[in-house]
Amino acid sequence: MKRHLIILLALLLGSIAGYATEYHVAKNGSDLNPGTAEAPFLTISKAASLARSGDVVTVHAGTYREWVNPRNGGSSKYARITYQAADGEEVWIKGSDQITTWTREKRTDVWKVTLPNSYFGDFNPYTEILDGDWVYESTPYLCLGEVYLNGKPLWQVGSAEEVKDASEHLCWYVQVDDAQTVIYANFGGADPNKELAEINVRQAVFFPKLTGVNFITVKGFHLSQAATQWAPPTAFQEGLIGPHWSKGWVIEDNEISNSKCVGVSLGKDRASGHNRWVTERELIGFNRELESIFKAYNMGWNKDNIGSHVIRNNHIHDCGQAGVVGHLGGVFSTIENNYIHDINTNVQFGGAEVGCIKLHAAIDVLIKDNVLINCVRGIWLDWQAIGTRVTGNTFAGHSLCDIMIEVSHGPCLVDNNVMLSETAFLDMSQGTAFVHNLICGDVTFRPVPNRYTPYHAPHSTAVVGVMSFPGGDDRYYNNVFYGAKRGLSVYDGQPPFYPGIFRDMNTVTIDERMPEEFAEKLRNGTVPAGSNQGNNFWLPMHVAGNVYYNGTPGYKYEQGAAVGGSEPMPELVYRQDGIYLKFTLDAAWNRAQTKSVDTQMLDKAYYTDSYFENRDETPLRIDHDYAGAARNFSAPKPGPFENATVGNNEIKIWSF
């Protein structure tokens, strides 16, 4: 029977392929052509208006200045629509236009261009002010427009007088009236009519205007320069590229850069709420966020309709808000092997949604093998990080933290990562497991007792309940710490886990395994069994087998830890062929009493009552390291590199 089903599937796929069409697009084409290799279309948009399930759109070398708005999607992951750059050809798709009609203001370095407002159609980015829920740092004149010189954005200023001074930044200023848009720019002595001078024109580069455009692949392009708006979780989240509340997209092998706000959006649609906090000033943003979750669920937010995207092998850089953002729409997705760097480095605006990767409701999301460098945060998982796994990533140069997990109940697994920033982890959650990481920065622990967020059934968007965040229920096994000031001592106020501890606290009894400082609080407690948790109810910690260098404090009740000496801080070395990690280990690395880590050992996250397991519901085993090498599972080495040695190590972590 199984063999017959396989044959039937093969015949079905063969019949789909037999009816598929390959359209070609080239700079010497015409949209009046049939779109063949011999007579290609001129625009990608023409091909997008015709492509159907199973079709392929192949784009040949050149720069295409258009917003590709796919009208149709594929019917399944086996019959998708693929948009691809032709093999070995460099294809740019831009949301900008090149301007070659600049005139120089007398006796200055200021250039001017005047455009009729009709030039921009129904969207003029120079009249759209950057704004939205959770924008904290901006200026009232900052718009979605941008001016670029040879691919680099200039700095927007607020007056014609300021644009004369380019000593700190090459800069620009805009004036818009009912008839025209006038842009003044200081290019620092360069002639914009001879160099490549571009301005933002379009809101997106590859983004369907309709929702539900499923199963599309976008592969091998350079995608750049879009006038995207700020994308908070309580609004329509637009991006330079994204599926717009759809299912099953694959975005791979692209360079994505210079989005005003977001590079890749896996975010929510407009119908479940749009900036009601900042526009109405009534209910607070927290309530609007809760509303959007329940509205979306009632409108079909589930695995059948939304998410399951793959974002892989992309180079994402120089975006204003985030490399990848998403609320609700990124569920069940995979983000892997991307190089994301220099996000929000322009610092003309900021807010609560900034990071290389910023996701709300990252249910069953796998974030794997990415290099994330030079932002405010590397990864920020906000609300409902349930079934999420962050594995094999490298973090460096983040001003606030490498990983932030906020008001999530778990289970969330963070394993085999290299974390090099000054603060490694900002913990405002519970139910997270840190396993086999190399951690250079501090850990900040911040309970959040006054915010209640949803938790979900395993591998589902179905809401089971809501709970606040007394903090704890975290696991730290087999990590290597370098030079953190507080280390895991920040958890000393949480008791160590032992089987039966929750029964003891719920019945207000005292087990001999309970440390005295906590037992005393239980004896003096006034909360009867079964009531709301109070000061005599804690989520305990699971901590063992870590290695601490350079005086990093450990957890007070930890078993099996090893304390090493003073070693140089690990560092990244950039070479022509890739990025290398240099680090040093002493004999303490061999002394830690590590544990083999799997689903059984990690047990359940407390509030969600859910196991740490794979997305397909199979048991989890952390039996491979950062580089994919097999671990000695019965006695694994601490940290992310099983085959490291005592002494100096240098390991290649990324190939350019």
pLDDT-derived band at 504, boundaries 50, 70, 90: confident
Which residues on adjacent β-strands are paired with residue 373? 341, 396
| Other beta carbons less than 10 A from residue 445's beta carbon | 20
Q: Is residue 104 part of a domain?
A: yes
For 541-555, the pLDDT digits (tens) are 999 999 999 999 999
Rounded average pLDDT over 62-82 = 97
Which residues on adjacent β-strands are paired with residue 148? 153, 198
Can you read off the two tokens belonging to residue 312?
A: 């892989």
- Residue-range definition of the domain harbouring residue 147: 99-200
For 45-57, the pLDDT digits (tens) are 999 999 999 999 9
Q: Is 195:152 a contact under the CB 8 Å cutoff? A: no
Say if residue 525 is exposed, middle or buried (CB neighbours under 10 Å; 0-12, 13-18, 19+). middle
pLDDT at 139: 87
Q: Is the confidence at residue 603, as pLDDT, over 60?
A: yes
pLDDT at 647: 97
Rounded average pLDDT over 269-288 = 91
pLDDT at 536: 66
Q: Is the confidence at residue 12, as pLDDT, over 70?
A: no
For 202-217, the pLDDT digits (tens) are 999 999 999 999 999 9
Q: Is residue 387 part of a domain?
A: no
Cis peptide before 553 (omega within 30 of 0): no
pLDDT at 59: 98
pTM of the model: 0.95
Rounded average pLDDT over 268-283 = 91
Instruction: List the single range of 8-12, 319-323, 431-435, 487-491 with lowest mean pLDDT.
Output: 8-12
Rounded average pLDDT over 481-507 = 90
pLDDT-derived band at 526, boundaries 50, 70, 90: low
Q: Is residue 116 part of a domain?
A: yes
Q: Is residue 137 part of a domain?
A: yes
Q: Is the confidence at residue 2, as pLDDT, over 50?
A: no
Which residue has 């106020």 as its token pair?
Answer: 493
What are the Cα distances from residue 149, in Å, to 146, 189, 407?
A: 10, 11, 42
Q: Is residue 161 part of a domain?
A: yes
Cα of first residue to Cα of last residue in the chain, in angstroms, is 47
pLDDT-derived band at 529, boundaries 50, 70, 90: low
Q: Is residue 74 part of a domain?
A: no
In 3D space, the residue among 655, 650, 656, 653 whose CA is nearest the CA of residue 394 turns out to be: 653
Number of domains in the chain: 1
Residues 6+ apart with CB under 8 A from 53: 16, 72, 73, 74, 75, 76, 79, 80, 81, 215
Q: Is residue 25 part of a domain?
A: no
Rounded average pLDDT over 584-591 = 97
Q: Is residue 275 part of a domain?
A: no
What are the Cα distances from residue 551, in Å, to 104, 477, 554?
A: 60, 18, 9
pLDDT at 3: 47
Say if residue 228 is exposed, middle or buried (CB neighbours under 10 Å; 0-12, 13-18, 19+). buried
pLDDT-derived band at 511, boundaries 50, 70, 90: confident
CATH number for the domain harbouring residue 116: 2.60.40.1180
pLDDT-derived band at 534, boundaries 50, 70, 90: low
Q: Is 642:631 a contact under the CB 8 Å cutoff? A: yes
CA atoms of 68 and 64, how far apart (whole Å): 10
Residue type, 4: H
